[in-house]
């Protein structure tokens, strides 16, 4: 079947086109082509006065927005699964220590079961209990991070979030790298625990990868009255970022790591999560001198304080 173009249809080089097949009462059929273009926000701008074309253009824009939201969800989920793989390996390694200590204490207890030194036995039982709590906390942190939850803002102590994140990454932190934390117990934020923790994990993991030799990661936070924000700074003594790459590091799939060692999604997902919380992330870096990532989250009242 063949169609003729509507006489008023116009073609503009470099533009996108919307094509509509219209049937009139007379039985005559036309394919109407309307020229349009995508602007900087990835929305379709329609150059037509035809209401049918405009309506179709609006429908396309809604579909584009929905696809972008779904793409963001899938990208975030992909990065979360990659993080989980890293953390499961690390937690499995870390669980060996408390399990080994529990096994040793139990063996000693079995050998001394008939002994009269109750104080020594009590100490061994207390050590077993401490190691069980340690293992339980590791598993609990991993389960909390892995569960699928609806977005929910709640008051959270920042120090606990950071320490949980370090605990989850303990298995991938090399012995040559020292991680220091200086955060007051009085600093709280309003955030979705699972999502903001993923952002923190991604930034810390990036800092770990940036330190090839012996070095430090220093994590600090303060209340900034001037900007009305809680500022979380993650500083490393790594290789730094080249000036030409600074503006690219938050782009999806951009990475300077060797093949197979980076997806290029970690910092991108971190920034999107921080934006979800009405925050911003800043970076300051010099090649050979390390990098500082600063996350600024809104300073909000908690329980009237």
Residues 105 and 20 in one domain: no
Contacts of 175 (CB under 8 A, 6+ apart): none
Give long-range contacts, CB 8 A cutoff, 24+ apart: 36-44: 42/68, 44/16, 44/18
How do residues 67-97 score in pLDDT, each as one tens digit?
A: 767 766 666 666 666 666 666 666 666 677 7
Task: Judge if 231 and 124 occupy the same domain.
Answer: yes
CA distances from 288 to 237, 259, 276 (A): 8, 22, 32
282 and 153 assigned to the same domain: yes
- 118-146 helix and 51-111 helix, angle to the nearest 10 degrees: 170
Q: Are residues 54 and 88 in the same domain?
A: no
What are the start-end ranges of the H helices in the chain? 51-111, 118-146, 158-169, 193-209, 266-276
The tens digit of pLDDT for each residue in 8-56 reads 444 444 444 444 455 545 554 444 444 444 444 455 555 666 677 677 7
Total domain count for the chain? 2
Is 280 inside a domain boundary? Answer: yes
Assigned domain for 303 exists: no
Could you tell me if 67 and 149 lie in one domain?
A: no
**Cross-strand partners of 44:** 38
Among the residue ranges 43-57, 61-75, 183-197, 204-218, the one predicted with the least confidence is 43-57
DSSP tag of 213:
S
In terms of residue numbers, what domain contains 233?
A: 74-298
Question: Do residues 271 and 295 make contact, with C-beta atoms less than 8 angstroms apart?
Answer: no
Q: Are 164 and 40 found together in one domain?
A: no
Last residue in a domain, options 35, 58, 73: 73
Which string of b and e fits 134-147 if b means at least 16 CB within 10 Å? Answer: bbeebeebbeebee
Predicted TM-score (pTM) of the model is 0.60
CB atoms near residue 302 (< 10 Å): 13
Q: Are residues 36 and 130 both part of a single domain? A: no
CATH number of the domain enclosing 149: 3.30.565.10
Q: Kindly report the length of the chain.
A: 305
Domain end: 57, 73, 89, which one?
73
Indicate if 214 and 102 belong to the same structural domain: yes
- CA-to-CA distance for 305 and 303, rounded, in angstroms? 6
Within-domain flag for 161: yes
DSSP state of 74: H
How many angstroms separate the CA atoms of 100 and 88, rounded? 18
| Last residue in a domain, options 24, 43, 73 | 73
Across the chain, mean pLDDT equals: 76
Residue 40, classed as helix, strand or coil, is coil
């Amino acid at each position: 079947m063949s169609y003729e173009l509507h006489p008023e249809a116009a073609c503009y080089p470099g533009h996108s086109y919307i094509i509509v097949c219209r049937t009139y009462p007379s039985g005559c059929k036309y394919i109407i082509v309307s020229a349009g273009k995508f602007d900087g926000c990835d929305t379709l701008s329609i150059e037509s006065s035809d209401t049918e074309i405009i309506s179709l253009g609006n429908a396309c824009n809604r579909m584009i927005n929905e696809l972008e939201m779904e793409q963001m969800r899938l990208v975030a989920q992909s990065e979360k699964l990659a993080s989980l793989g890293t953390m499961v390996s690390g937690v499995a390694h870390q669980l060996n220590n408390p399990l080994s200590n529990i096994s040793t204490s139990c063996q000693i207890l079995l050998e001394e079961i008939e002994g009269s030194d109750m104080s020594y036995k009590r100490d061994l039982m207390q050590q077993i209990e401490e190691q069980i709590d340690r293992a339980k906390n590791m598993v609990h942190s991993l389960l909390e991070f892995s569960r699928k939850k609806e977005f929910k803002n709640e008051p959270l102590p920042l120090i606990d979030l950071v320490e949980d994140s370090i605990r989850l990454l303990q298995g991938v932190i090399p012995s040559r790298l020292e991680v220091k934390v200086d955060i007051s117990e009085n600093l709280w934020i309003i955030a979705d625990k699972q999502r903001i923790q993923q952002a923190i994990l991604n930034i810390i993991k990036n800092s770990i990868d940036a330190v090839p030799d012996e070095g430090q990661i220093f994590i600090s936070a303060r209340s900034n009255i001037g900007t009305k924000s809680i500022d979380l700074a993650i500083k490393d003594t790594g290789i730094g970022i080249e000036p030409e790459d600074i503006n690219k590091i938050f782009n999806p799939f951009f990475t300077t790591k060797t093949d197979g060692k980076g997806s290029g999604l970690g910092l991108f997902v971190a920034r999107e999560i921080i934006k979800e919380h009405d925050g911003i992330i800043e970076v300051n870096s010099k090649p050979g001198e390390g990098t500082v990532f600063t996350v600024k989250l809104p300073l909000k009242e908690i329980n009237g304080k």
